[in-house]
Amino acid sequence: MTDNVRTVVETTEKEPADKDVPRSLFSDAWRELKHRPMFWISLGMILFFVVMAAVPSLFTRGDPTEAILKLGSTPPSSSQWFGRDLQGYDIYTRTIYGARASILVGVFATLLTSAIGVVIGVIAAFYGGILDTIMMRITDIFFAIPFLLGGILFMSSFPNTKDSTYFAVVGKVVLVLSILGWPSIARLMRGSVLQVKPNDYVQAARALGASPWRVIRSHILPNAWAPVIVVSMINLGAFISAEASLSFLGIGLTYPAISWGVAISDALTYIRTAPWMLLFPSLFLSLAVLAFIMLGDVIRDAFDPKTR
């Protein structure tokens, strides 16, 4: 009789517990995202801009550095869709080529801020104590610097010269955005790690004699990085617009880089006589920023169980 009871109990226990239980945070978020048109629209736009940045020649056969002075300020027409600017550059070609700088700055600033933020956040939260206090106070100091003001100060202290290379110009903007942008990621990561750390599986790994590096790599990071991915995505849009702001002020990207921010800055003087000069780069910039922020938003909603 006892045997009977045992088998009955055992079958109930062996029943697969969950057809409806979420598989994992990521697959769950993916199932949610699949059905969101906003996700596909923003992803499509981002892909469009990324391809534009990688191979601009797919979209235009023109040369962005070819200025035909006698055609200066030609309004948009069937032969030159976006018109030409004062110096006779084809605005369509310049706008297409301008995507590269914005995407490069956005992507690399995001990668760098995430890298710095994750390292600082993980170390502070994992080791705790005095190390945590010191690192978080340093984070607070950087957090207190106003983003744009800090950028203006940095860029005007180290201005570009005539013979700066393209990568030096772009790299400098990436650097300043990263220096000012990492504290939010570090705080986020610290909070996330603090949530994961007390879990028993972390204790179990320590009990097995796992090294701190192993505990971080295989137990803490995989369970703590979701919020950072979401916020980084939203930040990417913000970095693109910050780059444009700095370039607009004449201290971000400068010659030889072709950038939407520079184009907007140049166009402002002629807003009455040649408004198309301003319209097209601004439109592309807004669309790119919008796409990244929209994607970040949709992903955040998908990861946040409260919004489901």
Partner 1 sequence: MSDIILEGKDLKKYYPIKTGVLRRTTGHVKAVDGVSFELRKGETLGIVGESGCGKSTLGRLLMRLEEPTDGHVFFGGEDMAKASTSQMRKLRRDIQIVFQDPYTSLNPRMTVGDIVGEPFEIHSDVIPKGGRRKRVQELLDLVGLNPEHINRYPHQFSGGQRQRIGIARGIALNPKVLICDEPVSALDVSVQAQVVNLLEKLQNELGLAYVFIAHDLSVVRHISDRVGVMYLGKLVELGEEDQVYEHPTHPYTQALLSAVPVPDPTLRGKRDQIVLVGDVPSPANPPSGCRFHTRCWRAQDVCKAEEPILQDRPDGVTQHRSACHFAEPRTVVERSE
Binding stretches for partner 1 (CB under 8 A): 6, 9-10, 12-18, 21-24, 199-201, 203-211, 214, 218-219, 222-223
202, 207, 208, 211: CA torsion to nearest 10:
70
Residue 11 or 78 with smaller CB distance to partner 1: 11
Q: How far is the CB of 151 from partner 1 (least distance, A)?
A: 34
Residue 18 or 163 with smaller CB distance to partner 1: 18
Residue 13 or 163 with smaller CB distance to partner 1: 13
CA distances from 237 to 61, 100, 231 (A): 28, 14, 10
Q: How far is the CB of 134 from partner 1 (least distance, A)?
A: 14
Q: How far is the CB of 220 from partner 1 (least distance, A)?
A: 10
Q: How far is the CB of 215 from partner 1 (least distance, A)?
A: 10
CA distances from 110 to 31, 107, 193, 285 (A): 26, 5, 20, 17
Q: Which amino acid is at 257?
A: A
Q: How far is the CB of 162 from partner 1 (least distance, A)?
A: 52
Residue 6 or 47 with smaller CB distance to partner 1: 6
Residue 7 or 78 with smaller CB distance to partner 1: 7
Contacts 24+ apart (CB under 8 A), 48-54: 49/99, 49/102, 49/103, 49/287, 49/288, 49/291, 50/103, 52/96, 52/99, 52/100, 52/103, 53/99, 53/100, 53/102, 53/103, 53/104, 54/100
